[in-house]
Structure 1
Amino acid sequence: TEQAFPRDVCVHELFEAQAARTPEAVAVTFEGTSLTYGALNEQATQLAAYLQRLGVGPDVLVGVYMERSFDFIISLAGIWKAGGAYVPLDPFNPSQRLLHMVEDSNVKIILTQGHLQGKLEVAEDVSMISLDEINRQKVVDEDETAPIVEREVQPHHLAYVIYTSGSTGRPKGVMVEHRNISHLICGYVKTYNLTAKDRSPHLAGLGFDATVWEIWSCLTIGASIVLVDEEARLSPEKLKDWLIKHKITITFITTPLVKVMQTLEWPTHTSLRYLLTGGEKMTTTPVSPLPFTLINYYGPTETTVVVTAGEVKVNATNQMPPIGKPIPNARIYILDKQMQPVPIGVPGEICIGGLGVTRGYLGKKELTQEKFIPSPFDKGERLYRSGDIGTYNADGNIEYIGRIDHQVKINGVRMELGEIATVLHSHEQVKEAIVIVREDEYIGKQLVAYVVVDEQQEHMDHILQHYMTEQLPQVMVPSVYVFLNALPLNANGKVDRKALPVPDTYVAEEQVVHPSTSMEKTVARACQELLGTNNISMSDNFFKLGGHSLLAAQFISRLRKTLDVEIPLRTVFDTTTLAALAAAIEGILQTEQRAKRLVLRSVERTSAGTSLSFAQQRLWFLDQLEPGSAKYNVPSYYRLQGAL
């Protein structure tokens, strides 16, 4: 799979060359505002000079604590121009997790935005520098601006350190070099024939390595990047409309979203040529043709974003698609426990070689030696042991089967179950804990925590849920808590996972709060259909019932179609019970109806009027019960033939 690419230059140098060729071309747009290549390059250069005066150089790490913005991209380019490497710190992650990353990576400089200043309580020896419009002028004094040191950074130097879930309960940093990225984006551009006419969104999470892929594959060829708003990012329907509206030509979207998007109704023709997906096992295929090519990707962070790709074709039998074949400059081996290749069709561990294999784990020499091993097939090359199980098919495609250990992916996020259990253990009331994944036909993958506590308290599940939400991202917080007197053990004294009881989500009849209004009934019905259960109380929380962020998007989509009302996705997260959610939606509905209601001019009556008929009374009553309902509208159409 070898393919030529410029091995002696770094990614930002490819960007600088493009900025010199097309300084007036639009590099990035967001909500009607644009930033040209020339302006982006100039601001990044100024920032680089400032960072170099602070001591930033090769392999020096700089934190980036920002939301999706122009500043985020300027910061990445500026850090690279200074010779340093960045550590993404997504503000949407819990502070405790981010503080561990800051401490573990030993960053002493963190670039941020004005409105985020002070939200992350770092140690005194760490400098938080704001890059908003006002403070940027203070960062670089025109009279003191020094030229940046040319060519100090080389392709073998670090480009970024990104953190993934760790089995010790702490995330571990993966060290990625410039040459790892260069081969990836150059191969990507050639594979899809990308040009300056292409438009691609930046919609990956800021702590997700796909961000590198999205941004720099475009900014090295003169194409434009469009920043997506957070509301559209997690809603399949809204994201589809957003892609069409902004004339996006190629995009990467995580698997859980694509599973829904491939079932939506698309226009016959659209600007979108390629929709790339990955991050989780693709279990379905389109059952009808799509107006774009769907590509399924696979790859661990340790091998730079992706290493295999395969087209997902229409399949009426809905057969699970493979993860494809190795991308340019990647080598994939399926090996047994003795590190020998297995025959075609026989499962083995997916081991990865090639130019995407990264330096290893930051500050974890033993773990690096364990996972990054000398290749038995190519002298001088290293292989990364992914821990994933797969098989080679006769046609050269690879099928992904699952994980060797208990590392899992839920909603596109890779996590160690041990990390979640460790955080759970840290609660003062918890004696023992284990976290597993259970899969449900309706809900999908669900984290279930089995807990032994010192003393069972009332609402202990709510207490632990609140505690975990403060420590971990929402996707890593268990949906269900099962309390046991002791964890079951096998003959070897280890926890017998097979003996763990299936969670009993049944709610006693006397504890059930039944829906009492039309809106509550609508919300309960949508919840029952989506989660596949009738055992729902209006006092339940959507997420405790097994919901997660992507199911929340589908939940809102169902309610939007039923009620014809625009409901912000945040509403599901901000309400603690289904009853509160119904009340919030009722408020939104009434607000919209008041806005739409025509102002009527009062007319003086000349008589006492006429009593309503029973049919009219029924219509009046239903309108009072559910204002603005379209239930009694009668749609009709006429087909006319001939000239008009």
Structure 2
Amino acid sequence: MNKPEENTRKSPRRSHTEARGNGGSPLLHRFAAMAEEHAKNPACLRGDSALTYQELDRASSRLAASIAELSGPKPAPVALFLDRTCEVLIGCMAAAKAGVPYVPINMAWPEGRIAHVLTRVGARVALTAPELPVPARLLAAKSVLPVDARAEAARPAGPAWAPSPKTTSDTPLYILFTSGSTGEPKGVVVTHGNVAQFATAPECPGFGPGRRVTSCCATAFDLSVAETWGSMLNGCTLACAPPGTFLDSRRCLDFMHHRRLDYAVLPTAVFNALAAQDAGMFGALEKLILCGELPNSALCRRVLDTAPPKAFYNTYGPTECTVFVTVERLDAIDETAVIPAGRPLPTASIHIVDGRGRQLGPGQWGEVVIGGQGVAAGYFDDPERTAAAFIPDPAAPADTAYRTGDRGMLAPDGRLTVSGRFDDQVKISGMRVELGEIRTLLNAAPGVRLGHVVHHAENGLIAYAVMDSPLPEADEDAAREGLRQFLGGHLPPALLPRHILFVPALPLNPNGKVDAAQLPPPPLHRAAAGEKASCVLEAFRAALRDDTFHAEDSFLARGGNSLVAAALIGTLHRQTGVWVPLEYFSNPKTAQLVEMFIASARPAAPAPSRQHSREQVRF
């Protein structure tokens, strides 16, 4: 992909809409039908306000006209500074109607990374919300269009907006940036046709009109596509939750009951954290869909045994293939076996190939290659990586398939099992992490002569640095903090190493590559004579997998995040009977403050009752 408006791969596949001779974008055709059929129904709920399909249609048309006017004859991608609000639906639909891709911006990214992405795509227009402040320097030299769902709902209807006939199935819909192995994040270009076929898949997502869907995922995470577009293209209602809701089972259960939710689409890491707190909280759902990484078998079994949703799915698929491409319904769990990724969607195909690209038979392990209508258009302005990853489909060379790098096997019944990678890409809390991106930055850090990064199941990300000059032990803490600040200025929180170790040299194997097995592990904290850690401090150390963590340390600065905090909430409740508010984990001297809160709280804080039937939840 060299330009967002030019698709270098012209797919011969045609959507059902185009097959009838209507032309244009199947996604926009579908939404137009939903907006007409469900005009007075809510498209989005947030707080005490609602946005109907008619209001969404009109607001997005007005905004599309403004985007088109500001974009000029050579439109560029639109930056989306919107997250988990009704404004997201307006912004995404407006960009689609204007025929330009939107680029979701995660405000948790460092400013340097945001600025780099904006420059890379050449964004000249930015969509913002009143309640999400964006630093002015990031918006310099850009036309800013504020999006306010409440104000838009109160405005009278304007002139009808007709999308350009040039907007087709192959028109890019969004560009989503993921971690890149060369140190540069990769921008995956996904088209109107990609999303239209995914969102309308019959079984999964399989959303039905009038149902209510969670809004849990950040817009820069591709699972949000299942929520937003899966909802808008099927006449559903998207229910936006307050921040932190889906990390605290009590808040989440209250929210699901209050909003009478039918469908929940959750990152697997979020599900794991919630299920560990309360395995019975999902029983009122009609459909629960997991995606992002391999589920925890024991937790899935506990949910099925306690209060299962009516339909429970595990899914699999990379960003490059539009959210997910395989589905496995979970009705029974064998805890001794890997949960399968499932069978492909009707519009997808799965191939297992060897190192030479030759197809392998059932029961043989090889690289997973994905074909079908969900395969993205490529990487933005990156022809080399596009050519390497997007290849002729092994079964239909005229079409395009995507090399995942995942190690997988197809069973005789067509079910896919995925286990491991053929490279050093890892998943952390559902987020794709390329170790090469972290290594590149570490080697560019001031004072670092050589650097290497590994991921360990117990210790997380570990950075090893060989400095330009020998470092006295007394100076290591200051140097370590300097490296943390440097990396934190360029990398999202999930990509920051939990441990930074200084070594005199990097051990090499006979092939001249770093021998990771010879790298030293992080040092363990040895308790001083008479020192006895409290159960709270021990819980923090176990959750962080860091025995050097002290009560006065900052949880976030030592590698903690919201998902680890969610798991800790459940652990501490089981140990003490007290539910600790999520907000406490963002404070310095975290364990000390949490221990004080627990000591001052009542001996037990009951969780919300889970005795809610499906009829009660839906009314």
Confirm or deny: 8 A CA contact 1:294 1:311 kept in the other structure.
yes
1:469-618 equivalence runs, <5 A:
469-507=488-526, 509=528, 521-528=534-541, 530=543, 537-542=550-555, 547-560=560-573, 567-575=580-588, 577-578=589-590, 581-583=591-593, 586=596
Confirm or deny: 8 A CA contact 1:235 1:554 kept in the other structure.
no
Compute the displacement of 1:395 (Å). 2.7
Confirm or deny: 8 A CA contact 1:231 1:568 kept in the other structure.
no
Compute the displacement of 1:375 (Å). 2.3
Report the structure number with the largest CA radius of gyration.
1
Tell whether 2:220 aligns with 1:207. Answer: yes
CA distance 1:192–1:483, shift in 2 (3 Å): closer
Alpha-carbon displacement from aligned partner over 1:221-245 (angstroms, at most 9, x marks no partner): 2211101222112335543443344
Alpha-carbon displacement from aligned partner over 1:343-386 (angstroms, at most 9, x marks no partner): 32221000111111111011111111111112242141111111
Tell whether 2:176 aligns with 1:158. Answer: no
Tell whether 2:332 aligns with 1:319. Answer: no
Confirm or deny: 8 A CA contact 1:298 1:307 kept in the other structure.
yes
Confirm or deny: 8 A CA contact 1:58 1:83 kept in the other structure.
no
The aligned length equals: 577
Once residues 416 and 85 of structure 2 are traced to their aligned partners in structure 1, the CA distance between those partners, rounded to angstroms, is 37
CA distance 1:334–1:539, shift in 2 (3 Å): same
Partner of residue 372, structure 2: 354
Alpha-carbon displacement from aligned partner over 1:48-100 (angstroms, at most 9, x marks no partner): 11112113679731111123222221111111111211111121222111111
Confirm or deny: 8 A CA contact 1:286 1:318 kept in the other structure.
no
Partner of residue 300, structure 1: 318
* Alignment counterpart, residue 223 of structure 1, candidates 236, 240, 261: 236
1:417-496 equivalence runs, <5 A:
417-440=435-458, 446-455=460-469, 456=471, 457-459=475-477, 460-496=479-515
Compute the displacement of 1:150 (Å). 4.7
Once residues 58 and 326 of structure 1 are traced to their aligned partners in structure 2, the CA distance between those partners, rounded to angstroms, is 38
SS of corresponding position for 2:217: coil
Deviation larger for 482-491 or 214-223: 214-223
Q: Which amino acid aligns with 1:201?
A: T
CA distance 1:338–1:219, shift in 2 (3 Å): same
Confirm or deny: 8 A CA contact 1:196 1:221 kept in the other structure.
yes
CA distance 1:116–1:257, shift in 2 (3 Å): closer
Compute the displacement of 1:529 (Å). 5.2
Q: Which amino acid aligns with 2:123?
A: V
Once residues 268 and 130 of structure 1 are traced to their aligned partners in structure 2, the CA distance between those partners, rounded to angstroms, is 37
Compute the displacement of 1:627 (Å). 5.2
SS of corresponding position for 1:296: strand
Once residues 115 and 31 of structure 1 are traced to their aligned partners in structure 2, the CA distance between those partners, rounded to angstroms, is 14
Once residues 577 and 436 of structure 2 are traced to their aligned partners in structure 1, the CA distance between those partners, rounded to angstroms, is 43
1:24-423 equivalence runs, <5 A:
24-55=40-71, 60-116=76-132, 118-119=134-135, 121-122=137-138, 124-132=140-148, 147-187=161-201, 189-191=202-204, 193-236=206-249, 238-263=251-276, 265=278, 270-284=283-297, 285-287=300-302, 288-289=304-305, 290-292=307-309, 293-315=311-333, 317-423=335-441
Q: Which amino acid aligns with 1:114?
A: P
SS of corresponding position for 1:485: coil
Partner of residue 613, structure 1: none
Once residues 465 and 168 of structure 1 are traced to their aligned partners in structure 2, the CA distance between those partners, rounded to angstroms, is 20
Confirm or deny: 8 A CA contact 1:236 1:258 kept in the other structure.
no
Once residues 71 and 559 of structure 2 are traced to their aligned partners in structure 1, the CA distance between those partners, rounded to angstroms, is 49
SS of corresponding position for 1:243: helix
Confirm or deny: 8 A CA contact 2:76 2:124 kept in the other structure.
no
SS of corresponding position for 2:71: coil
Compute the displacement of 1:419 (Å). 0.7
Alpha-carbon displacement from aligned partner over 1:426-458 (angstroms, at most 9, x marks no partner): 321222111111012xxxx61111111234324
Q: Which amino acid aligns with 1:291?
A: P
Alpha-carbon displacement from aligned partner over 1:584-641 (angstroms, at most 9, x marks no partner): 663x56xxxxxxxxxxxxxxxxxxxxxxxxxxxxxxxxxxxx556549xxxxxxxxxx
Partner of residue 7, structure 2: none
Confirm or deny: 8 A CA contact 1:49 1:146 kept in the other structure.
no
Q: Structure 2: which 5+ residue stretches go unaligned?
A: 1-12, 605-619
Q: Which amino acid aligns with 2:525?
A: Y
Confirm or deny: 8 A CA contact 1:162 1:174 kept in the other structure.
yes
CA distance 1:195–1:101, shift in 2 (3 Å): same
% same residue: 28
CA distance 1:182–1:175, shift in 2 (3 Å): same
Once residues 358 and 163 of structure 2 are traced to their aligned partners in structure 1, the CA distance between those partners, rounded to angstroms, is 47
Partner of residue 9, structure 2: none
Confirm or deny: 8 A CA contact 1:196 1:223 kept in the other structure.
yes
Alpha-carbon displacement from aligned partner over 1:458-487 (angstroms, at most 9, x marks no partner): 413233223333322221111111210111
Once residues 261 and 583 of structure 1 are traced to their aligned partners in structure 2, the CA distance between those partners, rounded to angstroms, is 23
SS of corresponding position for 2:375: coil
Compute the displacement of 1:545 (Å). 6.0
Deviation larger for 555-564 or 309-318: 555-564
Once residues 551 and 27 of structure 2 are traced to their aligned partners in structure 1, the CA distance between those partners, rounded to angstroms, is 53
Alignment TM-score, normalising by the size of structure 2: 0.85
Q: Structure 1: which 5+ residue stretches go unaligned?
A: 516-520, 590-625, 632-644
Once residues 228 and 12 of structure 1 are traced to their aligned partners in structure 2, the CA distance between those partners, rounded to angstroms, is 27
Alignment TM-score, normalising by the size of structure 1: 0.82
Tell whether 2:27 aligns with 1:11. Answer: yes
Confirm or deny: 8 A CA contact 2:79 2:123 kept in the other structure.
yes
Q: Which amino acid aligns with 2:170?
A: H
Once residues 445 and 39 of structure 2 are traced to their aligned partners in structure 1, the CA distance between those partners, rounded to angstroms, is 55
